[in-house]
Structure 1
Amino acid sequence: MNRGTAPALLHPIESLGRVSLDIVESLGRFGLFLGQAGAWTFVPPFKVGQLLQRIHFIGFRSLSVIVLTGAFTGMVLGLQVFLTLERFGSEAFLGPAVALSLIRELGPVLAALMVTGRAGSALTAEIGIMRITEQIDALTVMALNPMRYLIVPIIVAGLITFPLMTAMFDVVGIFGGYLVGVRLLGLSEGTYFGEMRTFVDMADIMTGFWKSLSFGVIVTWVCAYKGYYTGHGAEGVSRATTQAVVLSSVLILVWDYFLGSVLP
């Protein structure tokens, strides 16, 4: 065997090993980041002002997107489900079909994806700019813990706002289904809401709640992490923002499947 052949054959193995080490290192840093944020969450004094600002930014400023998306999701769902049920003479079940689809699946997932696109990307860019302009280092110099001052309010705000945004999405979506099914297609209003009360129970609502709560942690965790460890320059911030949105969206869908298979 030629002397140059052996090193050439080892290049793919070296590349695989390097990628594996990078993945393990990133996973470890991800876990430590969340662990540190969780530890600082319960250490007083609490940054109430920062928390309220983050709740306003993540939640209140996302309301228009949530309402618009929820309304048209419910309307599309109401139309398509009605046309499907009509083939089997089961139009009466439109209400529970729309409500269960929204409460258990579409509400938590779509609300989380919308908030990720609107607020998550902005949070990553904001923290990333603070990193490359050395504002985070300045906080450390001033004896202000960046994790406690920046990251903890974001994650706690996600825990508070995501369930509320999901509830708003569900309510508006159910009303959108009502507009199409009852006002447009002629289904009885009593049938729409009566069957919904029969088939939707607290277990379904809690499933949507736990999903939205976990999505709040995932989105704020990933977006804050990507901003905190962003690369150098404007290109690094741009790359971190893209990675945060893509990774958050993928994790939302993956985690939704696992929770859906475990929760009742």
Structure 2
Amino acid sequence: MKKIYEFINHIGSITLLFLEAFKFVFIKPPKPKHIIKNMAEIGANAAPLIAITGFFTGGVLVVETYPTFHQFNAEFLIGALVSLSLSRELSPVLVALLVTARSGSAMAANIGTMRITEQIDALEVMAVNPIRYLITPRLIASVIVVPLLTILSIASGILGGYFVATELYSINPYLYLEKMKDFTELYDILGGLYKSAVFAVIITTISTYFGYVAKGGAEGVGKATTTAVVVSSVLILILDYFLTALIY
């Protein structure tokens, strides 16, 4: 019974935290320099990792699917498969999980450390709203950057798939690109970007919440960071199903 109560309490607290952070997007929004700083921390530093991961994901898709397509003499459709798989599903989810592991954990640890060392209490004493100062800039930055990282992942994945398909399996480059354009619509890409924006909200809200309520010294910060990553990852995979069913 205690676990159920704690679960409901967390849901309510997370919702209230998000609503207050979202409010400050429009009312007394944070300074642009704070948003840009968080965008650099979340996006610029993660871009090489996202590009490498996307490239090899596209290559793996070709390696895994080529034998089956080859049986039906349909190798020219592999480009469409790679493009659709990356745009709709793989890139949004992989980027979200990578951002969770890298930036979400950093958010939880950073804010958790500030809570443990009473820096958040100091902000409140100085009449500075900690949610507006610490969480809203991260929320805005994530919603901007995560879809951009998803675009990078899609592009690098298509490039990786193209390289493997044309160089390793000698698939006609023209057919690879032509079928990709024939089967992939703007709606497919926009759906993936919409997913990414929702995932960005989940990552930021969950990670900052568990950091914000951290207690118990250094051990508490570690526990908050681990919990934030696990909960965010599980919610991303659960929401992915419902968003896919809703969008497509």
**1:230 paired to 2:230:** no
Alpha-carbon shift at residue 18 of structure 1 (Å): 1.6
In structure 2, the partner of 1:27 is 11
81, 84, 88: which one aligns with 1:97: 81
Check whether the contact 1:124–1:227 (CA below 8 A) recurs between aligned residues: yes
113, 116, 127: which one aligns with 1:132: 116
Check whether the contact 1:211–1:259 (CA below 8 A) recurs between aligned residues: yes
117, 129, 147: which one aligns with 2:101: 117
In structure 1, the partner of 2:126 is 142
Check whether the contact 2:58–2:158 (CA below 8 A) recurs between aligned residues: yes
> Structure 2 stretches of 5 or more lacking a match?
none
Check whether the contact 2:79–2:180 (CA below 8 A) recurs between aligned residues: yes
Alpha-carbon shift at residue 46 of structure 1 (Å): 3.0
Q: Which moved more, 1:185-194 or 1:21-30?
A: 21-30
In structure 1, the partner of 2:25 is 41
**1:180 paired to 2:136:** no
229, 236, 248: which one aligns with 1:245: 229
25, 35, 47: which one aligns with 1:51: 35
- CA shift digits 1:69-127 (9 cap, x unpaired): 11111111111122221122110101000000000000000011111111111111000
Moved segments of 4+, more than 6 Å? none
- Describe how 1:189-200 pairs up with structure 2 within 5 A: 189-200=173-184
In structure 2, the partner of 1:201 is 185
Q: Using the alignment, how far apart are the partners of 1:95 and 1:45 within structure 2?
A: 43
In structure 2, the partner of 1:215 is 199
In structure 2, the partner of 1:69 is 53
* Higher gyration radius (CA): 1
Q: Using the alignment, how far apart are the partners of 1:244 and 1:101 within structure 2?
A: 28
- Corresponding letter in the other structure for 1:151: I
Check whether the contact 2:30–2:136 (CA below 8 A) recurs between aligned residues: no
The secondary structure found in structure 1 opposite 2:165 is helix
The secondary structure found in structure 1 opposite 2:46 is helix
Q: What is the RMSD computed on CA atoms of the aligned residues?
A: 0.9
**1:160 paired to 2:144:** yes
Check whether the contact 2:58–2:157 (CA below 8 A) recurs between aligned residues: yes
TM-score relative to the length of structure 2: 0.98
Q: Using the alignment, how far apart are the partners of 1:113 and 1:148 within structure 2?
A: 25
Aligned residues: 248
In structure 2, the partner of 1:12 is none
Q: Which moved more, 1:83-92 or 1:217-226?
A: 83-92
Q: Using the alignment, how far apart are the partners of 1:148 and 1:43 within structure 2?
A: 10
The secondary structure found in structure 2 opposite 1:129 is helix
Check whether the contact 1:107–1:169 (CA below 8 A) recurs between aligned residues: yes
The alignment-based identity, stated in percent, is 44
CA 23–45 in structure 1, closer or farther in 2 if over 3 Å, else same: closer
Q: Using the alignment, how far apart are the partners of 1:148 and 1:45 within structure 2?
A: 8
Question: More relative contact order in 1 or in 2 (CA 8 Å, sep 6+)?
Answer: 2
The secondary structure found in structure 2 opposite 1:186 is coil
Check whether the contact 1:47–1:149 (CA below 8 A) recurs between aligned residues: no
TM-score relative to the length of structure 1: 0.92
- CA shift digits 1:48-87 (9 cap, x unpaired): 1111110000010101110111111111111112222112
Q: Using the alignment, how far apart are the partners of 1:82 and 1:45 within structure 2?
A: 50
In structure 2, the partner of 1:170 is 154
